[in-house]
């Protein structure tokens, strides 16, 4: 099952991807996480990507494509994966299709999570991430028991440098500009499933699961 999750930052696609990953036993591959890891561990790619990430700009295609390619060729990706944050542009989608074609594979379903601007700012500006284990919190919706401390490992909770309101709006603007063509491309390919991400998490999960099951049935028949 090869799935792509598209949605602006704050659409909750990371949360949905974690659920599907557990249920379908396929890895959740977030291009943003892979890039941040590369920056933190100080790889050559990370060094080149740092400037763009901090500004909320798209990292050049060649850097992100290399990172994704290495990841999807790993053994745990044999029965599928969820790509979250990649592809982000039509050019990246075409590179991915070509990459998969060469491997004799193709995508099964692409989810687009649509969400209002107000909800994005509310969700992202309150988001806090554990500096040790990566667990996600929200100061209003999913607070930790002790302010600024991770419940799971006692690590310090930080705000991502690109989760500040002024950067969020810039990330959103770039996101919509770049993804319009991408969404149209998958819609034309007949594999796009649009989900409204303004509602409650459980309802969205149910909708995602139903679509995954339909795609699985189609694949098996």
> Which residues lie near ligand AMP (CB under 6 A)?
9, 31-32, 35, 52-53, 56-59, 64, 85-86, 88, 92, 162, 171
For β-strands 81-84 and 2-6, DSSP reports them as: parallel
Query: 96: buried, middle or exposed (CB in 10 Å: 19+, 13-18, 0-12)?
Result: buried
d(CA 10, CA 216): 27
Nearer to ligand AMP, 33 or 216 (CB): 33
Minimum distance of ligand AMP from residue 111's CB (angstroms): 15
Do residues 84 and 30 make contact, with C-beta atoms less than 8 angstroms apart?
A: yes
User: Considering the complex, what minimum distance in angstroms separates the CB of residue 9 from ligand AMP?
Assistant: 4
Q: Which residue in the block uniquely carries the two structure tokens 């969400």? A: 115
If the CB atoms of residues 68 and 204 are measured against ligand AMP, the closer one turns out to be 68
DSSP per residue over 19-67, as a string?
Answer: HHHHHHT--EEEHHHHHHHHHHHT-HHHHHHHHHHHHTPPPPHHHHHHH
| DSSP label of 159 | -
Tell me the residue nearest to ligand AMP as measured from the CB: 32
Q: How far is the CB of 60 from ligand AMP (least distance, A)?
A: 7
Give the residue numbers marked as catalytic: 13, 88, 127, 160, 171
* CB of 162 vs ligand AMP, minimal distance in Å: 6
Looking at the Cβ atoms of 17 and 202, the one nearer to ligand AMP is 17
Query: Does the N-terminal peptide bond of residue 77 adopt cis geometry, omega within 30 degrees of 0?
Result: no
For ligand AMP, the closer of residues 57 and 153 by Cβ is 57
């Amino acid at each position: 099952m090869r799935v792509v999750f598209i949605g602006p930052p704050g659409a909750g696609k990371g949360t949905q991807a974690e659920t599907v990953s557990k249920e379908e036993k396929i890895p959740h591959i977030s291009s943003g996480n892979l890039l941040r890891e590369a920056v933190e561990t100080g790889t050559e790619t990370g060094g080149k990507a740092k400037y763009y990430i901090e500004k909320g700009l798209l990292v050049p295609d060649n850097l992100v494509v290399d990172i994704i390619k290495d990841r999807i060729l790993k053994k745990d990706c044999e029965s599928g994966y969820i790509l979250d944050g990649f592809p982000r542009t039509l050019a990246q989608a075409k590179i991915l299709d070509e990459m998969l074609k060469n491997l004799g594979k193709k995508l099964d379903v692409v989810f687009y999570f649509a969400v209002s601007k107000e909800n994005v700012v509310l969700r992202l500006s309150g988001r806090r991430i554990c500096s040790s284990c990566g667990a996600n919190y929200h100061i209003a919706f999913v607070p930790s028991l002790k302010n600024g401390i991770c419940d799971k490992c006692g690590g310090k909770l930080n705000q991502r440098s690109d989760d500040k309101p002024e950067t969020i709006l810039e990330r959103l603007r770039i996101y919509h500009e770049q993804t319009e063509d991408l969404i149209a491309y998958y819609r034309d390919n007949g594999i796009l499933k649009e989900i409204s991400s303004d509602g409650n998490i459980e309802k969205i999960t149910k909708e995602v699961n139903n679509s995954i099951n339909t795609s699985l049935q189609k694949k098996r028949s």
